[in-house]
Structure 1
Amino acid sequence: MRRLPPLNALRAFDAAARQLSISAAAQELHVTHSAVSHQVRQLEQWLGKSLFVRHAAGVQLTAEGESLKQAVEHTFSMLVARCAEIAEQEPISEIVLGAPGSFLSNWLIPRLERFEANYPGIRVRLQTSVAMDDLRRHVVDCLIVSDRNWPSDVEVVSLFNETAGPVCAPSWPHRIAMPKDLPSQPLLHTSSRPHAWMEWASRNNVEPAMFTEGRRFDHLSLLLEAAAAGLGVAIAPAVLVERELSQGKLIAPLGFEPNNAVFALCAMRGRSDTAFCDLRDWLVKESVR
């Protein structure tokens, strides 16, 4: 008799490990947040090991969690393909797409339903990632990241130029009519883009050294929440604050301007399978909608 943990616990872990979010895993599995949390804890108890490190912005895999993630992904993919063969159905092609969490939630996820409607034979699994090493180690099949310089072993398809600018709550009490109004105000920074304020200041002919102070946040999502709560003025790419702007949670008092970076789809050179090419072509079309 095989000694294995409950299948539901493994499914919940698989979703949470790919998304690095219990909430996103619950949405994918169409269950509650507490149901996923319970299944993950049940699996950890069965193994006698912690699989995640939990923090305010989500979860991170432990070494044991990363090892189990790779095994579960491989096994589930084999099961899907073999079950499709037995049922004499065309197996669904699966692509793991990595991107910053803020890009996934603000830009890609709201559009993904259109892709699935047009390409029912392709399943896109989303994973929070910005590391080219994840691409090289085949943790993800492709990446959407923003950068200015690209490695030679990666094929890059530009999607759109990045624009960035200051954002704050609509009720922000301080005047922001020009760039020089900002150094005296509380500024918010994110560790993923530590030089964003200084680069913006330089482009706007304001002394960059005046933009180094202020609160710092690990993730852009926390940065935007702080700005919406009135804790200060943040700087962010326009594409990553579309939702907050449309909902009226944030405003961009000075607008957005190009910062010489490009959001691009990256894959290892030579990738030419039909599923990837369909996803690539769809992303290019969506980027100009």
Structure 2
Amino acid sequence: MPDRLPPLTALRAFEAAARHLSFAKAAEELNVTPAALSFQIKSLEAHFGQPLFLRLNRAVELTAAGKALSPGTTEGFDRLAAAWRSARRLSESNTLSVTAGPAFTAKWLAPRLFQFAQDHPEIELRFAATLKIVDLARDDVDVAIRFGRGPDVGLHSRPLAQEWLTPVMTPELHRRYPTVESLKSAPLLHDDSIAFLDPPCDWAAWFRAVGEDFAPTRGARFTQADHAIDAALNGAGVVLGRRGFIVKDIAEGRLVAPFRTALAIDAHFRFVCLPGTEDRPAIRAFHDWIIAEIAKLAHISEEFTFVDVKDVSPK
């Protein structure tokens, strides 16, 4: 049996067929005919000197040799694809692919992107608004904006700002509910997008922070934070708003935050990229722009007294 490697096309055909355990599905994935794929596998078996598949009536199975070869070929093609993507990203130095959650994209990025485009006309931004945790080494993405506690193992990760929550409403609604006591009878909106946090960062926690034993359960519930904020902006009720999504509306008068107590939480937004890419000019420019934009409204945070949600969680 020769030591030299077989043709790459034959190995690619084998890898797809071994992964699917189907010549037909592998041929469809590789956009070739089943006959062409079968020919490639037969040539690989001839090169190897023994069968790699057992051909059954309506299926195929790997032989012992095929099982030994399959994991290495899959890993090899995955690493080759990752290397190709990395090299292509370097050649596309003025293109930046960013993924962020739908709420962050809608409430933070979209209202501010005009300024970034003005300051960096040479950078072409591409956005994917999704809650899926993408694999930066495998997917065609340069930067991820993630929310939570992490950790971001094996990645370059920087926190963007401390997160906090406080009640916000329109100025008109505030005239009807000016006090904490009156707030108990207000239409309270629930942002369930952070229901995964423990301890809970909800209305009951905020009321405990201001010394009130009140745990509201009624009111509209939203799985997306931006939808809850939009409802508040339209006067539908009062929402326990997260810093990143409300400071711009507070600064511009669309929302008011009349109660100066805010829940401090340890979950936060992070700027995440592959190690070694953080100093790539487009990535560095995008990171520095985000930090500068956050700093513009940092003074709003100074107006609140913060209570750690852990200090008011039920014992």
Tell me which interval the TM-score lies in, with the shorter structure as reference length.
Answer: 0.5 to 0.7
| Cα distance between partner residues in 2 of 1:145 and 1:157 | 10
For residues 145 and 122 of structure 2, the distance between their equivalents in structure 1, rounded to whole angstroms, comes to 22
Partner residue of 2:94? 93
Find the aligned partners of 1:187 and 1:224 in 2 and give their Cα distance. 12
Q: What's 2:149 paired with?
A: 148
Which amino acid in structure 1 is aligned with residue 235 of structure 2? G
Shift in Å at residue 188 of structure 1? 0.8
- Matching residue of 1:212: 217
Counterpart check, 1:279 vs 2:286:
yes
**Which residue matches 1:267?**
273
* Equivalent of residue 253 in structure 1, options 237, 254, 258: 258
CA-to-partner distance for each residue in 1:155-206, whole Å, 9 max, x for gaps? 211221122211122222643423x554443221123123432443454444
Q: 1:63-107: per-residue Cα shift (whole Å, max 9, x none)? A: xxxxxxxxxxxxxxx9xx9xxxxxxxx966211112233323333
Query: Please, what TM-score do these two structures have when normalized by structure 2?
Result: 0.54
- In structure 1, what is the Cα distance between the partners aligned to 2:277 and 2:266? 27
Partner residue of 2:241 out of 229, 236, 239: 236
**Identical counterparts, % of pairs:** 25
The match for 1:123 is 124
Cα-Cα RMSD? 3.2
Aligned residues: 201
Q: Residues 227 and 96 (structure 1 numbering): CA distance in 2 closer, same or farther, change over 3 Å?
A: same
Map 1:19-168 onto structure 2 (within 5 A): 93-133=94-134, 135=136, 137-168=138-169
Aligned to 1:61: none
Distance in 2 (alpha carbons) for counterparts of 1:111 and 1:235: 23
Unaligned 5+ segments in structure 1 are: 1-77, 82-89
Deviation of the 1:265 alpha carbon: 0.7
Please list every run of 5 or more consecutive structure 2 residues that lacks an aligned counterpart in the other structure.
Answer: 1-84, 297-315
**Cα 1:167–1:136 shift into 2, 3 Å:** farther
Q: CA 1:241–1:121 in 2, change beyond 3 Å: closer, same or farther?
A: same
Secondary structure at the aligned position of 2:112 is classed as helix
Larger Rg: 2
| CA displacement, residues 130-151 of structure 1 (integer Å, 9 cap, x when unaligned) | 4333546425321223323323
Structure 2: how far apart are the matches of 1:283 and 1:225? 23
1:222 aligns with 2:224: no
Mapped contact 1:130–1:143 kept (Cα < 8 A): no
CA 1:156/1:199 → structure 2, altered by over 3 Å: closer, same or farther?
Answer: farther
Shift of 1:233: 1.4
